[in-house]
Amino acid sequence: MIYLGAMAKKQNKKPRGVHIFLARFVGKVLRPWVSLSRKFKIAIISLIIFALLYQFKGIFFVATVNGEPIGRIQVLKELERSQGKTVLDGLITESLISQAAQKQGIKISDVVVEEELKKIEESISSQGQNLNDILELQGISISDLKKDIEFQKIIEQLVADQITVTDEETATYKVENKDYLQEGVTDDEVRAQIVRQKVSEAFQEWITKAKEEAKINYWKEY
């Protein structure tokens, strides 16, 4: 017990020494600042604030016109005013699709996404164009495209039980759209086009019903 008491006393002395050292160190660091005049302090603080604003100017401003700044908040407000409803509707749609996929256990593997991406690249290349150039023009990244592909595949599975294409439908479609179809198009390619049309129509019915049944609370009207 005596030994433990002695140890406790020794341990109590060390923090005091540390505190004294820190106090002296802080005092030495702050002493020059304290001794400065009020105007000089304001000038230094203003300079620091200006430097920070310049360094991170893109966070607050997006451009200047003859020296007059255009704030980022102005841009965001204008985007929200003009496109807020469309963007919100898209986000609600994505949320409903994700919830339905999770509920039904639908998962799209990276392999499936990559295969579809490869098909898109080949299709665009056959027309003498480059996928990256097209994405750049539209302001879309490869990641965005992969996400779109994933959602499209989920949609296809959500309405798969409603999609059937008969040989008769394929033949009729070829006759009715012969002026628009590429020369040498195969029945499988025509069938794929019909499937895409039917998926689109079935999904519109599905999402309309999903929105009606979902509990959606709007906290801001656009």
What letter represents residue 167's amino acid?
D
What letter represents residue 20's amino acid?
I
Report which of 161, 64, 150, 74 is spatially closest to residue 115, judged by C-alpha positions. 150
Can you give the pLDDT of all 222 residues of the chain as single tens digits? 434 444 444 444 445 555 555 656 555 555 555 555 666 657 667 666 666 666 666 567 778 888 888 888 888 888 888 989 999 999 999 999 999 999 999 999 999 999 999 999 998 998 899 999 999 998 899 999 999 999 999 999 999 999 999 999 999 999 998 888 888 889 998 999 999 999 999 999 999 999 999 999 999 888
Q: Quick check: 165 and 194 in contact, CB under 8 A?
A: yes
Give me the residue spans of the domains in the chain.
Answer: 2-60, 161-222
